[in-house]
Structure 1
Amino acid sequence: MAPTFFSFFFCCVVSIYLTLVPFAVANSEGDALYAFKQSLSDPDNVLQSWDATLVSPCTWFHVTCQDNSVTRVDLGNLNLSGHLVPDLGNLHSLQYLELYENNIQGTIPEELGNLQSLISLDLYHNNVSGSIPSSLGNLKNLRFLRLNNNHLTGQIPKSLSTLPNLKVLDVSNNNLCGPIPTSGPFEHIPLDNFENNPRLEGPELLGLVNYDTNCS
C-alpha cells in the first residue's frame, strides 16, 4: 500500500509543478514587460492593456506568445519615449524585439545579451546613445540587427563578427569610431550600412589601422 500511496503522491506533486511552471514563467515575463512600460511615456495609451495584475502578458496588445512564453514584442512606430530597462533580458524566449521609429533614449542594456532566442533587434530611428554592448555577441540566433539613425558612440564590438546567423546589420547614421570588423558576417554587409559615422574606418584599411580603445 505504501509504495502505491507514495507513487500517487509523487504523481500529484509533479502534475501540480508542471501546471504552475508556465504561470511562473508568464509572471516573470509580465514583470519584465511591466517594468519596461513603467520606463516609457505613452501619450497614445497603446500600452493600456499591459496590466500587471493579470496572470500572463500573453493577452496584452503588441505581445505575441508561444507555449505561454513571450516570443514577440512589437512596439514600432507607436510614439513611445523613455528608455530600455535591464529587465528585458529576462524574456528568455523572445525572438523579436521591435522598437523602431520611436523616441527611445538612453543606452542599450548589457542584459539584452541574455536573449539567446533573439532573431531580430530593431532599434532604428530612435535616440539611443552610448556604446553597442559586446554582450550582443552572445546572441547566436540573431539574424537582423538594425541600430541605424541613433546617437551611438564607440566601436563596433568585435564580438558581433562571431555571430553565425547574422544576415543584416545596419549601424549607419550614428557616431561610431574605429575600423569596421572584416570577418564572419561582416564580409557580406554592404558599406552603405556603415555610412555617416564620421570616425568609422572601412575594411579597405585592414592591416593599416588598429582598434582605438580610446575612441568614444
Structure 2
Amino acid sequence: MALFNLRAVGVATLVALMVMLTAVNGNSEGDALYAFRNSLTDPDNVLDSWDPTLVNPCTWFHVTCNQDNHVTRLDLGNTNLSGHLVPELGTLEHLQYLELYKNNIQGTIPNELGNLKSLISLDLYNNNLTGIIPSTLGKLQSLVFLRLNDNHLVGRIPRELVNVSNLKVVDVSSNDLCGTIPTRGPFEHIPLSNFENNPRLEGPELQGLASYDTNCI
C-alpha cells in the first residue's frame, strides 16, 4: 500500500509539473502578445478579448494555437490597428503566420522577428513601416511568404534572404529601397513587378554582386 501511495504521489507530482510548465509557456506567449497589445491603438475593439489574466492566450480572438497551446497564428489583417511592432513578438517560437497587413502599423521591423524559426508567412504590407528590412529575417528558414510592399522601408534588400530556400513569394514593391535586386536563390523566380515603385532601386545585380552605393540608406 505504501508503495502504491508513493507511486500515486509521483504521478500526481509529474502531472502538476506538466500543468505548471504549460502555464509558464502560455503565460510567456500571452505576455508577448499583451506587450504588443499595449503598443497598439484599437479603435474598433478587436482586441477586447485579450485578457492577460488567463493561463494562455488560446481563447483570445484572432489568435490560433496548436494542440500544445502554443500560439501558431496571429490574424490581425485589415483591423484598423495603429501603433508599433514590439521585440517581444520574437519570443513566439511556434508562430507560423504573422498577418498584420492593411493597418496603420508604424515604426521599424524589430530584429527579433528573425527568431521566429517556425514562421511561414510574414504579411506586413500596406502599413506605414519605416527603417530597413532586418537582415535577421534571413534566419527564417521556414519562411515561404514575405510581403512588405506598400510601406516606407529604406535601404537594401538583405542578401541574407537568398539563403532562405523555402521562400516562394517576396514583395517589397512601393517602398523607398535602394541598391540592386538579388538574383540568386529564391530571387531567381521572383517577378520584377514585386520590386517596382522603389525609385532608388536599381535593376537586378550583375553576376551575383550587390551594389554597395554609400548613398543607399
Instruction: Return the TM-score normalized by structure 2.
Output: 0.93
Partner Cα separation in structure 2 for residue 208 and residue 97 of structure 1: 31
3-state SS, counterpart of residue 97 of structure 1: strand
Change (3 A) 1:184 1:127: same
Match of 2:18 in 1: 18
Q: State how far apart, in whole Å, the 2-side matches of 1:40 and 1:24 are.
A: 25
Does residue 52 in structure 1 map to residue 41 in structure 2? no
| Counterpart for residue 39 of structure 2 | 39
**Structure 2: which amino acid aligns with 1:37?**
R
| More displaced 10-residue stretch of structure 1: 18-27 or 177-186 | 18-27
The 5 Å alignment of 1:118-133 reads 118-133=119-134
Range moving further from structure 2, 11-20 or 187-196: 11-20
Would the aligned equivalents of 2:205 and 2:211 in 1 still touch at CA under 8 Å? no
Residue 103 (str. 1) matches residue 108 (str. 2): no
How far did 1:180 drift? 1.1
Matched, 1:91 2:92: yes
TM-fit CA distance, 1:39: 0.3
Aligned equivalents of 1:213 and 1:168: distance in 2?
28
Aligned residues: 216
Change (3 A) 1:54 1:8: closer
Unaligned runs of 5+ in 1: none
Task: Name the residue aligned to 2:75.
Answer: 74
Percentage of identical aligned residues: 68
Q: 1:38 to 1:7 in 2, by over 3 A?
A: same
Structure 1 residues 157 and 59, CA, compared in 2 at 3 Å: closer, same or farther? same
Identify if the C-alpha distance between structure 1 residues 197 and 118 changes in structure 2 by more than 3 Å, giving closer, same or farther: same
* Stretch moving more, 23-32 or 6-15: 6-15
SS at match of 1:201: strand
Q: CA deviation at 1:199?
A: 1.4
1:155-211 CA-to-partner distances (Å, cap 9, x unmatched) read 000000000100000000000011111110000000000001111122264478633
Q: What secondary structure sits across from 1:93 in the alignment?
A: coil
**For residue 152 of structure 1, what is the aligned residue in structure 2?**
153
Per the alignment, do residues 4 and 80 of structure 1 end up closer, same or farther by CA in structure 2, a change over 3 Å counting?
same
What secondary structure does 2:182 align onto? coil
Residues 204-215 of structure 1 mapped to structure 2, 5 A cutoff:
205-206=206-207, 210-212=211-213, 214-215=215-216
How far apart, in 2, do the equivalents of 1:214 and 1:18 lie?
Answer: 55
Aligned AA (1:123): L
Shift of 1:18: 1.7
Contact 2:182 2:205 in 1 (8 A): no
SS of the residue corresponding to residue 128 of structure 2 reads coil
C-alpha distance in structure 2 between counterparts of 1:134 and 1:213, whole Å: 18
One-letter amino acid of the counterpart of residue 75, structure 1:
L
Using the size of structure 1 for normalisation, the TM-score is: 0.93
Report the equivalent of 1:28. Answer: 28
Q: 1:9 to 1:122 in 2, by over 3 A?
A: same
Structural RMSD (CA) = 1.9
Q: Extract unaligned runs of 5+ from structure 2.
A: none
